[in-house]
Amino acid sequence: MSMTDTIQRKLAAALAPTEIDVEDDSARHEGHAGHRPGGETHFKVRIVAAAFEGQSRIERHRRVYAALADELKSQVHALNLTTLTPAEAER
């Protein structure tokens, strides 16, 4: 299973999002810290979930980091996160 699939699966289980998009952005980071040949180190994630209601951006990001703790310790170097509630996504 690719890391993109793993991230999608784990976030879906943890946050029950109405929308999720995970993009491997590793190619744009060649030569940067944490990049490895073959990619799967840097990701862009856009997630829309009711679970984010009433939470600050920092709290939302912490929930994502908690769901992906094992991946962040090993293979994933960086996440570019957009975390929205369903109402925010409609704007």
The partner residues of 20 in beta bridges, in order of sequence, read: 47
- 12 vs 25: CA distance, rounded Å: 20
Range of 37's domain?
Answer: 3-42+50-90
What is the pTM for the complete model shown?
0.87
Convert the pLDDT of each residue in 35-74 to its tens digit: 566 668 889 999 999 999 999 999 999 999 999 999 999 9
CATH of the domain at 32: 3.30.300.90
pLDDT for 26 equals 84
Number of domains composing the chain: 1
Alpha-helical regions (H) of the chain = 3-15, 57-67, 69-74, 86-90
From residue 32, alpha-carbon distances to 22, 23, 60, 79 in Å are 20, 18, 26, 14
